[in-house]
Amino acid sequence: MAVSGFEGFEKRLELHFFGDDPTFIQMGLRKLDFDSLQQVLKAVQCTVVSAVGNAYFDAYVLSESSLFVYPTKIIIKTCGTTQLLKSICPLIYYAHHHLGLTLCSCRYTRGSFIFPMSQPFPHTSFKDEVTYLEETLPANLCYRKASIMPSKSASHSWHVFTATDDSNCQTLYDNGHELYTMEICMTDLDPILARNFFRLPGDEKTGDSAGKEMTELTGICDINPEALICDFAFDPCGYSMNGIDGHRYSTIHVTPEDGFSYASFECTGSFEDDVVYHIMRKVIQIFRPGTMSVSITCSDYSHGMWTRIASAAEAMGLKCRSCTLDEFPAAGGVVFQTFTTRRKK
């Protein structure tokens, strides 16, 4: 393993807001002026690379991962040595002063960093992150819990922090439909497949057009053929995409360098449509990871999602090594599973 390389593992923050003024709620956070958004991203230390919106939400590809803005929900996911939690203060401020919106829920998740020593404060340890969150979040978010969900490997844990107020902030529903969020983290990618995410030196393409080629070449476009994809290829390597399909997003980020290769896939879905098997198969096919973790967040895990995930992964030659459940007050449950290839590489 390299002494230090690019940290692929993202930090992910999901904030929900509410407000009393219906004119603000309708488009809510999407009305935030770009200067304010830029101030938020400056605090995190990243910039917008490309973006697209539809009737339901805005999706931004960032220099380090992605940002999704819904009328009352914002999701920021950043990799590398970004300081994601520093976005909370400016976001609370702008949402309140510019839009009359109040924070009602916060969820912070991440895997285990490959290079934990390179992380700046407050990401120096989960303990520091939790302390920072506890001190930054307003008192109305009274139901709080921090948890490290283990696997059998000490280097793969799932870190979760939730804080919710007592207002029935419907964070796990969308128009009455129960939603799940699936976060997949993959390491030790197949080196031949990882090469698809390198650009040829002097290819004279834009990051947009090189990204589009990668989307098609790798089969990423087949994961959800209905989605409109906003993609970008970094120079000399690395790839990011956001998929938008109605009110649902999906997102992929790839750090393909050997020694610390990493790819992530994340999406939301509802339990009515049974696409998770197809998604799992496609994602595994595209990256062939040596190790993979899948985390599902939802309000009710009686749906047996994780058994379908495990059977899809096992059909693709991965073996389930651990499955952990945890519940968070007024914030649903999380199921965390890890998989590795059957054969030792």
Point out which residues bind other proteins (CB under 8 A): 27, 30-34, 37, 48, 50-54, 58-60, 69, 206-209, 228, 230, 244
First to last CA, the chain: 14
Q: State in angstroms the smallest separation of the CB of 217 from other proteins.
A: 18
> What is the residue whose two structure tokens read 């509410």?
18
For residues 50 and 340, which CB has a smaller minimum distance to other proteins in the complex? 50
The token pair at 132 is 């920072």
Least distance from other proteins to the Cβ atom of residue 338, Å: 35
CA 134, CA 144: separation in Å to the nearest integer? 9
- Is 6 annotated to bind a ligand? Reply is yes
User: How far apart, in Å, are the Cα atoms of 112 and each of 19, 101, 130, 278, 307?
Assistant: 35, 33, 15, 27, 24
Indicate which residue of 159, 253, 264, 293 is catalytic.
253
134 annotated ligand-binding residue: no
**Any binding-site annotation on 265?**
no
Cβ proximity to other proteins, 168 vs 209, nearer residue = 209
Counting every residue, how long is the chain?
345
177 is catalytic: no
Q: CA–CA separation, 182 vs 298, rounded Å?
A: 9
Which residue in this structure is represented by tokens 């980020």? 253
d(CA 287, CA 309) in angstroms, rounded, equals 16
What is the rounded CA–CA span in Å between residue 26 and residue 345? 52
Q: Where are the beta strands (DSSP E) in the chain?
A: 11-18, 48-53, 58-62, 65-69, 73-78, 102-110, 143-149, 158-164, 173-174, 177-187, 228-233, 239-245, 248-255, 262-270, 291-298, 318-328, 332-341
Q: Select 141 or 210, whichever has its Cβ closest to other proteins.
A: 210
Q: Which is nearer to other proteins, 33 or 300 (CB)?
A: 33
CB of 242 to other proteins, least distance (A): 9
Q: How far is the CB of 238 from other proteins (least distance, A)?
A: 16
Choosing from 36, 50, 65, 264, which is the catalytic residue? 65
Q: Which helix (H) or strand (E) holds 217?
A: helix 207-218
18: annotated binding-site residue? no
Give the 3-state secondary structure of residue 97.
Answer: helix
State the catalytic residue, choosing from 36, 66, 79, 250: 79
CA-nearest of 203, 264, 270 to 237 is 203
Cβ closest to other proteins, residue 39 vs residue 285: 39
In degrees and rounded to multiples of 5, residue 78 shows phi and psi of -135, 145
Give yes or no: 320 in active site.
no
Query: Catalytic residue at 46?
Result: no
Q: How far is the CB of 50 from other proteins (least distance, A)?
A: 5
CB nearer to other proteins: give 131 or 206.
Answer: 206
252 burial (CB, 10 Å; 0-12 / 13-18 / 19+) is: buried
Nearer to other proteins by C-beta: 50 or 147?
A: 50
Shortest reach from residue 196's CB to other proteins, in Å: 20
The answer to whether residues 260 and 1 touch, using CB atoms and an 8 Å cutoff, is yes
Q: How far is the CB of 200 from other proteins (least distance, A)?
A: 17
Is 240 designated active site? yes
**Binding positions:** 6, 64, 234, 257
The residues annotated as belonging to the active site are 65, 79, 240, 253
**Binding positions for substrate:** 6, 64, 234, 257
